Amino acid sequence: MTKIIRIKDIAEMANVSMGTVDRVIHNRGKVSEDALKKVLEVLEQINYKPNLIARTLSSSKTQRLAVLLPDADLDPFWRSSILGIRQAYSEHNQFGVAVSEYLFDPYSGDSFREQARKALEWQPDGILLAPTLRQEALAFAEACQTNQIPLVCFNTHINELAMLSFIGQDLHQSGRVAAELMAMMASPGTILVTHIGEQVQNSVHIGAKETGFREFMAQKGRNHFEVITVQLASPTSPDFENSLAQTLETHPHTKGIYVTTSKAYEIARTLEKLGKTHVCLIGYDLIDDNLTYLRSGTINSLIHQNSDRQGFLGISYLTDYLVFQKPIPALRYLPLSIVTRENLDSYLSNIDFSQ
């Protein structure tokens, strides 16, 4: 039971006032050589840990956090991120944080720039960003830097982008996990890899998953599998179904399909129509459409990106950084969760974070 050391105690030990100690600790200057030395000496000896409770109570400035992410109505993938963000907000707003959401069209540069402008206009103290568009994100990050606003990114990693922290998953390893699952579940034959629903801009992003997938298959696939990358028509176009049917005809020994995006349900729907549900289908993310087909068995497994947790951690990190002045990790990879029919419910019941 070591008693707590307060600023007041330090002041007494160093024979100075609390104000001086405060100035030294936060090095705000305006301290004489002499006083500085005395205080530092005491600080060396004892292990001062500031009382964060008292600090937040005192400096009751509310920190404004702007969140920039795609509109979930345009891509359901983002629904769970928002849930995590709101959950974090509801847990942290008592520490004096305000969160404002700016939703953009994930494929429209104009939309992004518009929302980014609004976000900066709000004069936030921190920003959480899902950088779906490379060029636009880079420009925005620069704006943040010149404005001295800390930036945390999630979901999509962009190398050259300067940020405080990134929260997401290891895409390369994620591809390996998918391949491992495929090798476990599919019969020997042809495996299709498709990036349905993704834009060209994200080629790096996508490449990592495919590279990981192929790497595993080359190392551990025992030559049982032939991996072929296919480009399908957009799922919104009427050609989509034909395009898939034709691909399957071209590759009659197709035993598995790896969808590197959250759009596996589009494939599943068509496979059911074509009566080809025996094909082993692996995709990403626990969005409603995917769950339907995971339950019916057409989708065999989903890799869970923990998007809810990504959002939650994003807000938590910014709060820690701004409110509590805690150090936060520069990189946080979340687990590559393997979800099947049998453990699905155990994940769904954990979408809340109350801890």
Contacts of 328 (CB under 8 A, 6+ apart): 164, 165, 317, 320, 321
Residue 27 binds to DNA (criterion: CB under 7 A):
no
What residue 274 binds from DNA, a second copy, none (CB within 5 to 8 A, per partner kind)?
Answer: none
Contact call for residue 54 and DNA (CB under 7 A): yes
- Asked if residue 322 binds DNA (CB under 7 A), the reply is no
User: Is 7 among the residues that bind DNA (CB under 7 A)?
Assistant: yes
The verdict on 54 binding a second copy (CB under 8 A) reads: yes
Nearest distance, CB of residue 59 and DNA, angstroms: 4
Q: Is 43 in the site for DNA (CB under 7 A)?
A: no
**Cα 30 to Cα 24: distance, rounded to the nearest angstrom:** 9
Query: Considering the rule CB under 7 A, would residue 29 count as an interface residue with DNA?
Result: yes
Structure token digits, residue 37:
């030395």
Secondary structure (3-state) at 70: strand
- 16 forms part of the interface with DNA (CB under 7 A): yes
CB of 166 vs a second copy, minimal distance in Å: 14
Asked if residue 37 binds DNA (CB under 7 A), the reply is no
| Residue from the set 173, 195, 257, 267 that interacts with a second copy by CB under 8 A | 173
Residue 61 is classified by DSSP as P
Q: Residue 17 interacts with DNA (CB under 7 A)?
A: yes
Residues in contact with DNA, counted by CB under 7 A, come to a total of: 28
Residue 172's binding partner among DNA, a second copy, none (Cβ under 5 to 8 angstroms by kind) is: none
Q: How far is the C-alpha of 135 from the C-alpha of 201, rounded, in Å? A: 9
> Judged by CB under 7 A, which stretch of 55-63, 214-222, 248-256, 339-347 contacts DNA?
55-63
CA–CA dist 69, 87 (Å, integer)? 16
Question: Strand 337-339 relative to strand 280-284: parallel, antiparallel, unpaired?
Answer: unpaired
Q: 1 with 24: CB under 8 angstroms?
A: no
SS3 230: strand
Check binding of 4 to DNA (CB under 7 A).
yes
Write the DSSP assignment of 82-145 as a string of letters: HHHHHHHHHHHGGGSEEEEEEEE-TT-HHHHHHHHHHHHHT--SEEEE---SHHHHHHHHHHHH
- 32 is in the binding site of which of a second copy, DNA, none (Cβ under 5 to 8 A by kind)? DNA
Residue with tokens 């959950």, as numbered in its chain: 87
* C-alpha distances in Å from residue 157, one per residue of 45, 167, 174: 43, 8, 14
Under 8 Å CB-to-CB from 12, ≥6 apart: which residues? none
Contact status: 336 vs a second copy (CB under 8 A): yes
d(CA 152, CA 143): 14
Give me the residues that bind a second copy (CB under 8 A), please: 1, 49, 51-54, 56-57, 94-95, 98, 169-170, 173, 176-177, 179-180, 184-185, 216, 312-313, 316-317, 320, 328-329, 333-338, 340-343, 345-347, 349-350, 354-355
Give me the residues that bind DNA (CB under 7 A), please: 4, 6-8, 16-20, 22-23, 25-26, 29-32, 34-35, 50-51, 54-55, 57-61
